[in-house]
Amino acid sequence: MLGASATPPTGATPPSQLVFVSVADAHNEPSLAPAPASTATSEGGGGVARSLVSMFQRSSHPVTAAFHALFKVAAMVFYLTAGLFTSSFIIQFVVVVLLMAADFWTTKNVTGRIMVGLRWWNDLADDGSSTWRFESIDDPSLVSRLDSILFWNTMYLSCAFWAVFAFLALVTLNLENFMICAVCLTLTWSNLYGYFRCSKDAQTRLQQGVQRALARGAVAAFTSGWFSGQSSAAPPSAAPPTAPHAAPSHASSAPAAFAGGSLV
């Protein structure tokens, strides 16, 4: 690199040619060029993974939250990568359906009760009719907002995943994959629908409880106000009438005598 000529000292003869400056040290300067796209992408993916792990760690029930997502993610990953391990449809079908069946039981009986305070089941009568049963926590404020977000969003994403891949399998006429996705979508949708109805039932009962409490408070306030108004509006009690004074007797000027508290 060609630089400016050096200034000669006082009294010295100026050099007859320009001074060349070494640029070997220029390579040691930090580069201002943007990072490669691959590095930025890897860092972004790592950031998303760390954020997800941090969310599960900050959960009130981290182990339960992890199992709530474990079987769902395992079924999705195996469905997408099963062709790398085996070409047998039977193995793919059995493994994916077993994972989703484990997820169905865990979500229905364990994670929903612990994470969001909800539980549902369906009773079948002898005549074939079914009855929905719902249970919910008495105080919804005890449910962590983060646990609720993890619970519902995980179920929404799982249901959307199987719905999308069932549609793609149907469009491409891949009946084997469509069968797998249809079974998984049925299991996921059943849990989502059951918990949705359970949540609505809990909200309805909470609103009814609040309305009953407000009605009881209004009746109590009206009753106490009515009685206090009646007591303040009542006239003062009249004094008992006094007997007229008897004329003094001139027969005797001796004072009256008491015997046993009665006048004789």
Q: For 165-185, how does the pLDDT look when each residue is reduced to its tens digit (9 = 90+)?
A: 999 999 999 999 999 999 999
> Which is more confidently placed, 162 or 122?
162
Residue 174 lies in a domain: yes
> Which is more confidently placed, 235 or 74?
74
Residue 113 lies in a domain: yes
Residue 8 lies in a domain: no
Q: What does the pLDDT read at residue 240?
A: 56
**What proportion of the chain, given as a percentage, has pLDDT over 90?**
42
pTM over 0.75: no
Q: What does the pLDDT read at residue 124?
A: 84
Q: What does the pLDDT read at residue 147?
A: 93
Q: Is residue 250's pLDDT more than 50?
A: no
Residue 240 lies in a domain: no
30-62 pLDDT, tens digit each? 444 454 544 444 455 567 778 778 877 888 899
Residue 107 lies in a domain: yes
Q: Is residue 221's pLDDT more than 60?
A: yes
Q: Is residue 74's pLDDT more than 90?
A: yes
pLDDT, the chain, mean? 76
As a whole number, mean pLDDT of residues 101-129 equals 91
- Report the C-alpha gap between 249 and 32 in whole angstroms: 131
Structure confidence at residue 109 as a pLDDT band (50, 70, 90): very high
Residue 79 lies in a domain: yes
Q: What does the pLDDT read at residue 1?
A: 45
Say how many domains are in the chain.
Answer: 1
Please list the alpha-helical segments (H only) found in the chain: 37-57, 62-81, 89-106, 112-115, 145-171, 175-233
Q: Is residue 220's pLDDT more than 50?
A: yes
Q: Which domain holds residue 207?
A: 57-219
The pair phi, psi for residue 134, each rounded to 5°, is: -130, 145
12-28 pLDDT, tens digit each? 555 545 444 444 444 44
Residue 93 lies in a domain: yes
Q: C-alpha distances in angstroms, 21 versus 2, 3, 73?
A: 7, 6, 61
Provide the pairing of β-strand 130-136 with 262-263: unpaired
In the block, residue with structure tokens 């796209």: 37
Residue 150 lies in a domain: yes
In the block, residue with structure tokens 């969001």: 116
Contact by Cβ (8 Å): 166, 181: yes
Residue 170, exposed/middle/buried by CB under 10 A (0-12, 13-18, 19+)?
middle
As a whole number, mean pLDDT of residues 142-171 equals 95
